[in-house]
Amino acid sequence: MAYSIQLADRIREFLAAQPNLKIEEKKMFRGLTFMVNDKMCVSVSNNNLMCRFDPALQDEVAERKGFEPMLMKGREYKGYCYVSEEGYSLKKDFEYWLHLCLNFNAKAKATKSKKK
């Protein structure tokens, strides 16, 4: 699981500054996922952000620099994307993506946990 430690640290620092968040880190999706209030919020995969956002914003978000659609088995997943380094290198762009994820996290449904 290779992921950017520096990017993970930036996310940790940003999330820690936000009030009233329960944050948990999990290794998944070939990287590190930040669970916020028991829901997947944002991940680090290689040098990319993997963002979870409101699917209704897909077209608007797709216009942003660094946006890459999330494809699995040839299918595009609405409400998820990768963001390359050029799309989050500036502080204002990084904060845009993290706020986008946090805004959706407040209304996103948590996935049901698997029984062991």
In this prediction, residue 94 carries a pLDDT of: 98
Q: What is the mean pLDDT of the chain?
A: 93
Q: What is the pLDDT of residues 40-92, one digit of tens each?
A: 999 999 999 999 999 999 999 999 999 999 998 999 999 999 999 999 999 99
In this prediction, residue 15 carries a pLDDT of: 97
**Domain annotation for the chain: domains and CATH numbers:** 5-105 (3.90.1150.30)
Number of helices and strands (H, E) in the chain? 4, 6
